[in-house]
Amino acid sequence: MIEFFFDCSSPWTYLAFHNIQPLATELGEDITWRPILVGGIFNTVNPTMYETRAKPVPAKQAYMLKDLADWARVAGLKIKMPPTVFPVNAVKSMRGCCWVQEQAPDKLVPFATAVFEAYWGDDQDVSQEAVLTKICERVGIDPAAFFAGIGEQATKDRLKSNTDEAIRRGAFGSPTIYFEKTDMYFGNDRLPLLRAAIIRKKDGKAWS
């Protein structure tokens, strides 16, 4: 079993979210999607992320943008750093993922995909209700029910519970991926390692 802890405010998460689906299908593995609030993780265990954003290393920043463009090209995705709103407040969209997962599980992936595309592809501020309304309409979710649902305490608690669990299990960012509960992988570029772990398990081999 693959567990995928994710926050739509990360472009690397967008890549991994997209790339892990065909990997899981090919290898016959199910994915359990776990929406989180990555800011909660940063605040608790990885506050240096904010320092890095405030004082980026110019050469490293330039390479990161190239790296992101290269990965997006390979994945066939439209990804660019949002010129107007970054970082974005993802609370409503991630509560939305929790609510959609509970109410209409088959629409979680389309909803999250639409959030990723709106923010990382079209520079739309997904913290705004007008943007989320259009996303809901696009994937066949009633906006009124959606906004009522993400305001419920149970939805808020579910997002916090997922985030707290990720922290307890060693996460320090998004995406954090677990195979067979304890085998952790972080980031899109670790998917080849995840693939290798799955194949080794299917072949009845253990890591030495």
Rg (CA), the chain: 17
pLDDT tens, 67-99? 999 999 999 999 999 999 999 999 999 999 999
pLDDT of residue 206: 66
Mean pLDDT score across all residues of the chain = 96
Instruction: Please state the separation of Cα 102 from the chain's center in Å.
Output: 17
pLDDT of residue 121: 97
Closest residue by Cα to residue 34 from 46, 20, 54, 51: 20
Place of tokens 């359990």: 32
**Which fold, 2-202?**
Glutaredoxin (3.40.30)
Query: Taking the model in full, what pTM does it have?
Result: 0.95
Q: Position 3: which residue type?
A: E
Whether the pLDDT of residue 125 is over 70: the answer is: yes
Mean pLDDT throughout 38-42? Answer: 96
Give the length of the chain: 208
Closest residue by Cα to residue 131 from 143, 149, 145, 148: 143
pLDDT of residue 50: 81
Give the containing element (helix H, strand E) for 120: none
* Angstrom distances, CA of residue 93 to CA of 36, 150, 195: 10, 9, 29
For 181, half-sphere exposure in the C-beta direction (CA atoms, 13 angstrom radius) is 0
